[in-house]
């Protein structure tokens, strides 16, 4: 007699329990500082959106992280939300069909109005679709040991053009006996050869973009050749430490050991260097880092205004197979609180203006003035095929490091590689 | 159905699970890799969404790829130095020495087997510490004790160092196989040679070596093929650097597939690597006319 009502009651309870169970959103994150930042903000997002966030920890080296992530994306079992190193990686993931568009959700998000225009441009593809949530920015320029230069009686003024930069590097080598200037190069550095060096210099040439009007990649430009020739001159004059760049983890010795020890006097870097590489989060900090280490904008080849390079730092992407709630989680990872959590641990710059008003962000005194300068930054517009370009630059600069070729030869390596990979139709 | 045919069917049935596993986990992936090598499959871009047939383009690219030829040469030197010379010579010496009556033989056996107890990536990191540059590395400290300059061993002598490390790891396998070979040599033959006045060197050269030749070639076959496919500890040690000096085929393949994201091209490297291993195997098994 009571069987049916009992069964109905049990079913109702079970259904209610299922409905009440929060949806789980899996987020991929790597490197301990980034994982710490995510874990710090995850509870607030869970409470706001009624979701459960599962943080999946990935291998720390960028190359290993990307290999694992892309393999899982290809297999269809990747997490719902994940980052890629920079904006140059986004178009190729979008073309592969791995990521969901976020254009409409971003436009409706409260943070959209506060996001810097440059960040929006970097996150939007040539087709006008946004595939990445721009949350943090890399603002990169040349960092130099002011204390070392002043002690040696070398000018700390902004170099006017490339010739002036090269002359300054030679003077540093002559007067201090130390390596003068480092640009990331070579195959071991992975995407760094492109993202942390090559694109800075290219922005200062007559041909500052790599995508031609028809959408093809223009790698035969004079700008590309000029950058690679500058690199070859730097290596051939023994102004740059070459051996560490040919080994595994090439950034460790020059950035974490030589620069703090004053054995390398200038290097390209981003704001994170003041926090993560040589600042309070560093294992080998430079005392009073913001005074001991100064910055130069990257000069143009023929002079003119110098520039700082702005790019998206680890933008959040949403898996094409994820639920719409994953997009909301990705947007929440762009909240001021999340941005400041990442900025304080990694030293990157929030992609939104209103982060500047945050009391916690104000404590990051090395980053505050940079946030204000973001809008004046230069950027390289990414397009499909940039993964191949990045690998091609790594190979071309590897040949320069090995002293196997000059600038023109390195350019040929780049063009040939990208043409081989993408086919002749993709390259101008 | 006769007893014999029933027994045959039973045997086939028993073999079925292992045949199915081989088909699913070895033959099918190998055939799939061959198919991939004729496509532009990639981990990113259009090649990830819609891989298309490109004929022999990947192989044509391979022929003109200097880095691939460098990798092939590095692999050849690595196999020659570590598997054929290092592991074999030291393995044979260990097997001969430990085949004699010796105090603490079990201890020596255990010492030689120890490197195999360590996972290869862990072994790689141990050796990074041993070979570290400057005054902190163990090897540098030793040479400094001898009045020599410390070296950054993995940068200065990269290929030699990975040969040394792989030799260290492989001695035990060589020793076990060669010990088995030595045990199979009848004692009577040795005793007869001694009675005929043969010296130990002559006995070893004229009797022992020829009798264990099949074992030696079996070992050579196994070690050569397995060394060609090594990846883990060399990746942990050098990642193929500096400047491609230790980029053996396994690492080159990985770099093409998972760093440059070109799965089709990486598959072409894998197919060539497979052919390379097959050729070596055929040389051992057929050309030298040794039954293994």
Integer angstrom CA distances of residue A229 from A181, A232, A428: 15, 5, 21
- What is the predicted pLDDT for the residue at A339? 94
Cross-chain residue pair B48–A401, CB shorter than 8 Å: no
Measured between CA atoms, the residue of chain B closest to residue A383 is: B45
Residue in the block written with tokens 């590095």: B74
Region A405-420 average pLDDT: 93
Third-level CATH fold of B37-287: MetI-like fold (1.10.3720)
- The region that residue A132 occupies, defined by phi over 0 for left and psi between -120 and 50 for alpha, beta otherwise, is beta
| Nearest residue to B177 via CA among B215, B222, B210 | B215
Of A93, A243, A402, the CB nearest to B44: A93
Measured between CA atoms, the residue of chain B closest to residue A246 is: B242
DSSP states of B259-288: IS--HHHHHHHHHHHHHHHHHHHHIIIIIT
Q: How far apart are CA A290 and CA A272, in angstroms?
A: 12
Cross-chain residue pair B155–A93, CB shorter than 8 Å: no
CA distance A243 to chain B (A): 7
Cross-chain residue pair A247–B44, CB shorter than 8 Å: no
Evaluate if residue A12 carries a pLDDT over 80.
no
Burial B126-158 (b: 16+ CB within 10 A, else e): bbbebbbbeeebebbeeeeeeeeebbbbbbeeb
DSSP states of A308-377: -EEEEES-EEEBTTS-HHHHHHHHHTTSHHHHHHHHHHH--EESBGGGGG-HHHHT-TTTHHHHHHGGG-
Contact between A47 and A355 under an 8 Å Cβ cutoff? The reply is no
CA distance B85 to chain A (A): 27
Of A96, A186, A187, the CB nearest to B45: A96
Cross-chain residue pair A401–B262, CB shorter than 8 Å: no
Burial B3-34 (b: 16+ CB within 10 A, else e): eeeeeeeeeeeeeeeeeeeeeeeeeeeeeebe
Please state at what angle helix A32-49 crosses helix A324-332, rounded to 10 degrees.
Answer: 120
Q: How far apart are CA A133 and CA A334, in angstroms?
A: 7
Tell me the range of A40-49, B141-150, B176-185 where mean pLDDT is highest. Answer: A40-49
Q: Which residue has the higher pLDDT, A137 or A308?
A: A137
B contacts of A422 (beta carbons < 8 Å):
45
Best mutation target among B61, B242, B265, B266 (most A Cβ atoms within 10 Å) is B242
Evaluate if residue A417 carries a pLDDT over 50.
yes
The beta strand positions in A167-208, using DSSP E, are 179-182
CA distance A97 to chain B (A): 6
Best mutation target among B44, B50, B127, B158 (most A Cβ atoms within 10 Å) is B44
Cross-chain residue pair A387–B45, CB shorter than 8 Å: yes
Burial A314-347 (b: 16+ CB within 10 A, else e): bbbbbbbebbebbbbbbbbbbbbebbbbbbbbbb
CA distance A263 to chain B (A): 15
Residues of B near A (CB-CB distance < 8 A)? 40, 42-46, 48-49, 61, 67, 152, 154-155, 237-239, 241-244, 255, 258-262, 265
pLDDT tens string A210-226? 988 888 899 999 999 99
Q: How far does chain A reach from its first CA to its final CA, in angstroms? A: 81
Evaluate if residue A44 carries a pLDDT over 60.
yes
> How do the domains of chain B map onto residue ranges?
1-28, 37-287
Measured between CA atoms, the residue of chain A closest to residue B57 is: A420
Contact between A221 and A428 under an 8 Å Cβ cutoff? The reply is no
pLDDT tens string A227-249? 999 999 999 999 999 988 887 78
Among A36-50, B125-139, B276-290, the minimum mean pLDDT is found in B276-290
Containing H/E element for A29? Answer: strand A23-30
Burial A70-94 (b: 16+ CB within 10 A, else e): bbbbbeeebbbbbbbbbbbbbbbbb
Containing H/E element for A82? Answer: strand A81-83
Cross-chain residue pair B49–A388, CB shorter than 8 Å: no
- The region that residue A317 occupies, defined by phi over 0 for left and psi between -120 and 50 for alpha, beta otherwise, is beta
Region B256-281 average pLDDT: 91
Percentage of chain A lying above the pLDDT 70 cut: 95
Query: Which residues, other chains included, contact A162 with Cβ-Cβ below 8 Å and sequence gap of 6+?
Result: A201, A204, A226, A230, A299, A300, A301, A302
Please, which pLDDT band fits residue A307 given cuts at 50, 70 and 90? confident
CA distance B24 to chain A (A): 17
pLDDT tens string A254-286? 999 999 999 999 999 988 888 888 988 888 999
Query: Which residues, other chains included, contact A161 with Cβ-Cβ below 8 Å and sequence gap of 6+?
Result: A299, A300, A301, A302, A303, A304
Measured between CA atoms, the residue of chain B closest to residue A92 is: B45
Of A385, A387, A398, the CB nearest to B243: A398
Please, which pLDDT band fits residue A126 given cuts at 50, 70 and 90? confident
Please, which pLDDT band fits residue A379 given cuts at 50, 70 and 90? confident
CA distance A109 to chain B (A): 29
Best mutation target among A96, A317, A395, A413 (most B Cβ atoms within 10 Å) is A96
Q: How far apart are CA B167 and CA B135, in angstroms?
A: 25
Contact between A146 and A152 under an 8 Å Cβ cutoff? The reply is no
- What is the predicted pLDDT for the residue at A340? 94
pLDDT tens string B96-147? 888 887 778 788 888 888 888 888 888 888 898 888 877 778 888 898 888 8
β-partners of residue A25 are A53
ipTM score assigned to the predicted complex: 0.78
Give the pairing type, strands A179-182 and A264-270.
parallel
Of A73, A243, A384, the CB nearest to B45: A384
**Which tokens sit at A319?**
């898996």
Cross-chain residue pair A243–B155, CB shorter than 8 Å: yes
| Nearest residue to A180 via CA among A239, A235, A227 | A239
A contacts of B267 (beta carbons < 8 Å):
none
Q: How far apart are CA A331 and CA A138, in angstroms?
A: 19
Burial of A367 per CB tally in 10 Å (0-12, 13-18, 19+)? buried
Please, which pLDDT band fits residue B287 given cuts at 50, 70 and 90? low
- What is the predicted pLDDT for the residue at A426? 85
Please state at what angle helix A32-49 crosses helix A336-346, rounded to 10 degrees.
Answer: 170
CA distance B235 to chain A (A): 9
Q: How far does chain B reach from its first CA to its final CA, in angstroms? A: 37
B contacts of A71 (beta carbons < 8 Å):
43, 258
B contacts of A192 (beta carbons < 8 Å):
none
pTM for this structure? Answer: 0.83
A contacts of B152 (beta carbons < 8 Å):
243
Integer angstrom CA distances of residue B169 from B30, B111, B164, B216, B245: 28, 12, 9, 18, 20
Sorted by where each starts, the structural domains of chain A and their CATH numbers stand as: 22-135+314-374 (3.40.190.10), 139-310+385-426 (3.40.190.10)
Residues of A near B (CB-CB distance < 8 A)? 63, 67, 70-71, 73-74, 89, 92-93, 95-98, 186-188, 190, 243, 246-248, 384-385, 387-388, 391, 395, 398, 401-402, 420-423
| Nearest residue to A341 via CA among A139, A45, A39, A46 | A39
DSSP states of A321-339: TS-HHHHHHHHHTTSHHHH
A contacts of B154 (beta carbons < 8 Å):
247
Cross-chain residue pair B242–A420, CB shorter than 8 Å: no
Integer angstrom CA distances of residue B108 from B85, B112, B164, B175: 21, 6, 20, 12
Residue in the block written with tokens 């980029």: B247
Average pLDDT across chain A, whole number? 90
- What is the predicted pLDDT for the residue at A6? 61
CA distance A160 to chain B (A): 34
Among A16-20, A409-413, B229-233, the minimum mean pLDDT is found in A16-20
CA distance B127 to chain A (A): 14
DSSP states of B37-67: TTB---SSSHHHHS--B-TTHHHHHHHT-HH
- What is the predicted pLDDT for the residue at B292? 46
Per-residue three-class SS string for A264-297: EEEEEEECHHHHHHCCCCCCCCCCCHHHHEEEEC
Contact between A119 and A354 under an 8 Å Cβ cutoff? The reply is no
How long is chain A?
428
The CA angle A385-A387-A393, to the nearest 5 degrees, is 105
CA B223 to chain centroid = 5
B contacts of A399 (beta carbons < 8 Å):
none
Q: How far apart are CA A138 and CA A147, in angstroms?
A: 25
Integer angstrom CA distances of residue A48 from A133, B205, B214: 19, 81, 72
Average pLDDT across chain B, whole number? 89
Region A22-26 average pLDDT: 90
């Amino acid at each position: 007699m009571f069987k049916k009502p009992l069964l109905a009651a049990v079913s109702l309870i079970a259904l209610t329990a299922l409905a009440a169970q929060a949806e789980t959103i899996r987020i991929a994150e790597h490197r301990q500082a980034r994982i710490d930042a995510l874990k710090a903000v995850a509870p607030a997002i869970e409470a706001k959106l009624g979701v459960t966030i599962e943080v999946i920890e990935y291998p720390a080296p960028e190359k290993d992280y990307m290999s694992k992530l892309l393999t899982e994306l290809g297999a269809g079992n990747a997490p719902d939300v994940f980052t890629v190193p920079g904006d140059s990686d986004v178009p190729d993931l979008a073309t592969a069909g791995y990521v969901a568009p976020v254009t409409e959700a971003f436009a409706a998000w409260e943070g959209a109005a506060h996001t810097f225009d440059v960040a929006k441009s970097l996150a939007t593809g040539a087709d006008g679709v946004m595939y990445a949530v721009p949350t943090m920015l890399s603002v990169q320029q040349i960092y130099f040991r002011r204390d070392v230069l002043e002690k040696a009686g070398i000018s700390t003024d902004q170099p006017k053009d490339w010739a002036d930069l090269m002359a300054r590097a030679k003077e540093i080598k002559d007067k201090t006996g130390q390596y003068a200037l480092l640009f990331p190069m070579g195959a071991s550095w992975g995407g760094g050869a492109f993202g942390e060096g090559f694109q800075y210099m290219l922005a200062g040439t007559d041909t500052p973009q790599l995508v031609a009007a028809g959408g093809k990649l223009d790698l035969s430009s004079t700008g590309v050749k000029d950058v690679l020739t500058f690199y070859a001159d730097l290596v051939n004059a023994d102004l740059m430490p070459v051996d560490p760049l040919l080994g595994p983890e090439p950034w460790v010795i020059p950035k974490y050991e030589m620069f703090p020890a004053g054995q390398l006097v200038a290097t390209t870097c981003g704001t994170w260097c003041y926090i993560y590489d040589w600042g309070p989060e560093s294992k080998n900090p430079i005392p009073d880092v913001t005074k001991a280490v100064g910055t130069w904008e990257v000069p143009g080849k023929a002079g003119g205004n110098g520039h700082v390079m702005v790019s998206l730092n680890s933008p959040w992407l949403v898996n094409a197979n994820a639920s719409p709630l994953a997009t909301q989680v990705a947007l929440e990872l762009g909240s001021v609180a999340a941005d400041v959590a990442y900025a304080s641990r990694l030293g990157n710059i929030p992609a939104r203006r209103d982060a500047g008003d945050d009391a916690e962000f104000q404590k990051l005194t090395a980053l505050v003035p940079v946030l204000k300068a973001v809008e004046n930054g230069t950027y390289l517009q990414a397009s499909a095929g940039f993964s191949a370009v990045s690998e091609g630059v790594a190979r071309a600069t590897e040949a320069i490091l090995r002293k196997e070729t000059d600038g023109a030869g390195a350019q040929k390596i780049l063009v040939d590689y990208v043409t081989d990979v993408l086919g002749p139709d993709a390259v101008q | 159905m006769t007893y014999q045919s029933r027994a045959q069917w039973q045997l086939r049935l028993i073999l079925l699970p292992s045949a199915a596993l081989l088909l699913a986990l070895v033959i099918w992936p190998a055939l799939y890799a061959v198919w991939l090598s004729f496509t532009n499959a990639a981990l990113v871009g259009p090649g990830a969404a819609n891989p298309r047939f490109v004929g022999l383009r990947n192989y044509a690219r391979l022929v003109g790829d200097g880095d691939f030829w460098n990798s092939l040469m590095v692999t050849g030197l690595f196999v020659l130095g570590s598997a054929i010379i290092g592991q074999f010579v030291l393995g044979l010496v260990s097997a001969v020495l430990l085949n004699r009556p010796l105090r603490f033989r079990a201890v020596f056996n255990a010492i030689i087997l120890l490197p195999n107890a360590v996972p290869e990536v862990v072994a790689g990191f141990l050796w990074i510490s041993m070979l570290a540059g400057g005054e902190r590395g163990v090897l540098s400290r030793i040479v400094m004790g001898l009045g020599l300059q410390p070296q950054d061993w993995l940068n200065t002598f990269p290929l030699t160092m990975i040969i040394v490390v792989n030799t260290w790891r492989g001695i035990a396998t060589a020793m076990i196989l060669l010990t088995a070979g030595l045990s199979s040599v009848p004692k009577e033959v040795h005793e007869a040679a001694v009675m005929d006045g043969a010296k130990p060197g002559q006995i070893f050269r004229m009797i022992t070596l020829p009798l264990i030749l099949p074992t030696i070639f079996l070992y050579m076959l196994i070690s050569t093929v397995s060394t060609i496919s090594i990846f883990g500890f060399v990746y942990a040690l050098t990642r193929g650097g500096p400047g491609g000096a230790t980029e053996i085929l396994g690492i080159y393949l990985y770099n093409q597939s998972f760093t440059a994201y070109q799965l089709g091209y990486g598959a072409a490297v894998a197919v060539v690597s497979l052919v390379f291993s097959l050729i070596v195997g055929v040389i051992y098994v057929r050309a030298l006319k040794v039954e293994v």
